[in-house]
Amino acid sequence: MELSAHEIEFRRQRLAHLETLKAAGHRPYGRAFARTGPLADVRAGFAEGQAVRIAGRVAAVREMGKSIFAHVQDGTGKFQIYVQKNALGEASFAAFKAVDLGDFIGVEGELFTTRTGEPSVKVQQWELLAKALHPLPEKWHGLQDTEVRYRQRYLDLIANPDVRQVFNIRSRLLSFIRRFLEERGFFEVETPVLQAMAGGAIATPFQTFYNALGQPMYMRIAPELFLKRLLVGGYDKVFELGKNFRNEGLDRSHNPEFTSLEIYEAYGDMGTMMHLVEDLVSAAAQELYGTMRVGKAGQEPIDLTPPWRVVPYHDVVCERAGADWFQRPVAAAREWARAQGLDIPDNLNHAQVTHEVYDKLVEKTLWQPTFVTRLPAELVPLAKRCEDDPALVDVFELVVRGRELAPGYTELNDPLDQRARLAEQAAGDAAKIDEDFLRALEHGMPPAGGMGIGIDRLVMVLTGEESIRDVMLFPQMKNREPKPDEKPPEE
């Protein structure tokens, strides 16, 4: 990339400072530095006059002639240091003036409190740990440009402390989920991401090629079919926490690569799963926030206190479209839907019109956690039919903030029905039927409840973030096309 005159000048200055520091005996990029502890711990254990060693990135410098105040920042917070000429000596103090914003330094000194009451370190010795050759983003407004924030997330993390909070929550959530499930006897497993056939959901997979085997491969779109093989194999309670990949568009609730939690429990059903997810999510909120009411200030809070509302698909559609909805002729249904502003082609049958109504008019109004149950069978090929109505399946969709958060099923364990429904879905293309999975089912899979929950969307619910990109450290971004006269240099 071409550098502007300003960038060239900036780099020249920083390299000159680096030379100054080297001449003063500093290593430009240091080795391990034994710290008293992270900055938050030093602050928590503050004792006047105590000797400490701390390290971090220089986040602010205020020079005042023969003394300098600065802040260093690490993963836990910031801490002020006080650098005095008569404490360091002429040479060391002069060298410190070549320290730039963004550099990493380690200091040794003693704790004291300034006149304004700020805990600080009076520096006796310091060393350079790493020189930064680029400027930090502006300190007051932070880094606003969304593109830079996502493409260079490290700058976002340095400049915008709130961003770090979101990812701390995400990390603690994952840890909590593992603890919660393990305490209940679930076993964490890992199943293939690279698959010869991508099943378990309806989605376009990413395709790749395995050279050694000479065969096409796919990135998984769901772990479901492998987890069910484990039920066949005798694992009663399993879960997998991992990435799925779907070759689709991206928007603020979809990233092509996303994290899901899938859970299966033998001898259970969808009701088992409803209780489990209710307990899991409400306990997570309690653990992470100390309350079950979550969301950003200014948003309508989400109340995760159990029990959550349970409503059949039939009823929730009738609430919006009228009690006689399912008795109306399809033409009348289409007409009503169009009057509501939906785009309904003439070839949609009644069930399809109903689903449009649910998708476009109902789901987005379900703000507080709601289990929508008893969905039409054709929407869900891997779930068991309801005992009292074979046209419906025994599933729930958990909807929060108008968005689907988690589906759960009473899993289909009848291999003959499963074959028929996969065949219907494959529409005559035998290559799309996972025979290996069907063979496993034919060996007998215990009745089971299963569910999947989108971790990214769960983090969105908990943190109140509106975009999936704000809960993923490195969201998918489009490549910037190099200009024709600016080909990457060959090396």
Footprint (CB under 7 A) of RNA, residues 110-169: 112, 114-118, 120, 134-148, 150
Shortest separation between residue 283's beta carbon and RNA, angstroms: 26
281 alpha-carbon distance from chain centroid: 15
Residue 490 DSSP label: P
Comparing CB distances to RNA, the nearer of 102 and 232 is: 102
Among the listed ranges 201-209, 228-236, 268-276, 302-310, the one in contact with RNA (CB under 7 A) is 201-209
Contact 410, 383 (CB under 8 A): yes
Cβ-defined contacts of 201-204 (< 8 Å, 24+): 201/244, 201/246, 202/381, 202/425, 203/246, 203/247, 203/248, 204/246, 204/247, 204/248
H-state helical runs in 290-427: 313-321, 330-339, 350-357, 415-426
Contact between 190 and RNA by CB under 7 A: the answer reads no
**What is the distance between the alpha carbons of residues 256 and 222, in angstroms, rounded to a whole number?**
12
Contact 380, 395 (CB under 8 A): yes
Contact between 347 and RNA by CB under 7 A: the answer reads no
**What is the distance between the alpha carbons of residues 221 and 248, in angstroms, rounded to a whole number?**
11
Residues that bind RNA (rule: CB under 7 A) add up to a total of 75
Shortest separation between residue 297's beta carbon and RNA, angstroms: 19
H-state helical runs in 257-344: 270-289, 313-321, 330-339
**What is the distance between the alpha carbons of residues 244 and 367, in angstroms, rounded to a whole number?**
26
Among the listed ranges 29-37, 79-87, 270-278, 323-331, the one in contact with RNA (CB under 7 A) is 79-87
Secondary structure (3-state) at 362: helix
Contact between 69 and RNA by CB under 7 A: the answer reads yes
Shortest separation between residue 286's beta carbon and RNA, angstroms: 29
Contact between 254 and RNA by CB under 7 A: the answer reads yes
Among the listed ranges 23-31, 260-268, 297-305, 471-479, the one in contact with RNA (CB under 7 A) is 471-479
Comparing CB distances to RNA, the nearer of 236 and 466 is: 466
The total of other beta-carbon atoms located within 10 Å of residue 120's CB is 21
Distances (CA, A) of 185 to 24, 106, 237, 264, 417: 60, 46, 7, 12, 30
Contact between 477 and RNA by CB under 7 A: the answer reads yes
Contact partners, residue 9, CB within 8 Å, separation at least 6: none
Tell me the torsion sign for CA atoms 159, 160, 163, 165: positive
Contact between 487 and RNA by CB under 7 A: the answer reads no
Angle formed by the axes of helices 161-183 and 270-289, nearest 10°: 140
User: In terms of C-beta density within 10 A (0-12 exposed, 13-18 middle, 19 or more buried), how is residue 141 classed?
Assistant: exposed
Distances (CA, A) of 368 to 211, 406, 459: 49, 14, 15
Among the listed ranges 261-269, 332-340, 437-445, 476-484, the one in contact with RNA (CB under 7 A) is 476-484
**What is the distance between the alpha carbons of residues 104 and 72, in angstroms, rounded to a whole number?**
8
Comparing CB distances to RNA, the nearer of 47 and 416 is: 47
Shortest separation between residue 380's beta carbon and RNA, angstroms: 9
Comparing CB distances to RNA, the nearer of 123 and 232 is: 123
> Which residues, numbered 386-405, are part of the site for RNA (CB under 7 A)?
404
Shortest separation between residue 287's beta carbon and RNA, angstroms: 29
Secondary structure (3-state) at 126: strand
Contact between 6 and RNA by CB under 7 A: the answer reads yes
Which residue of 84, 160, 191, 368 would you call a contact of RNA, by CB under 7 A?
A: 84
Comparing CB distances to RNA, the nearer of 66 and 309 is: 66
Binding mask 21-60 for RNA (x = CB under 7 A): ---------------------------------------x
- CA dihedral (468, 471, 472, 474) in degrees, to 10, reads 100
In angstroms and rounded to an integer, the radius of gyration of the C-alpha atoms of the chain is 29
Comparing CB distances to RNA, the nearer of 136 and 189 is: 136
Comparing CB distances to RNA, the nearer of 13 and 168 is: 13
> Which residues, numbered 439-468, are part of the site for RNA (CB under 7 A)?
466-467
Contact between 425 and RNA by CB under 7 A: the answer reads no
Binding mask 259-298 for RNA (x = CB under 7 A): ----------------------------------------
Comparing CB distances to RNA, the nearer of 135 and 242 is: 135
Contact between 73 and RNA by CB under 7 A: the answer reads no
Contact between 182 and RNA by CB under 7 A: the answer reads no
Comparing CB distances to RNA, the nearer of 203 and 331 is: 203
H-state helical runs in 184-269: 224-232
Contact between 251 and RNA by CB under 7 A: the answer reads yes
Contact between 478 and RNA by CB under 7 A: the answer reads yes
Comparing CB distances to RNA, the nearer of 184 and 403 is: 403
Contact partners, residue 451, CB within 8 Å, separation at least 6: 262, 263, 270, 273, 276, 277, 406, 407, 408, 409
Comparing CB distances to RNA, the nearer of 80 and 286 is: 80
Give the Cα-Cα-Cα angle 316, 320, 325 (nearest 5 degrees).
85
Which residue of 15, 45, 66, 474 would you call a contact of RNA, by CB under 7 A?
A: 66
Contact between 359 and RNA by CB under 7 A: the answer reads yes
Among the listed ranges 48-56, 211-219, 244-252, 263-271, the one in contact with RNA (CB under 7 A) is 244-252
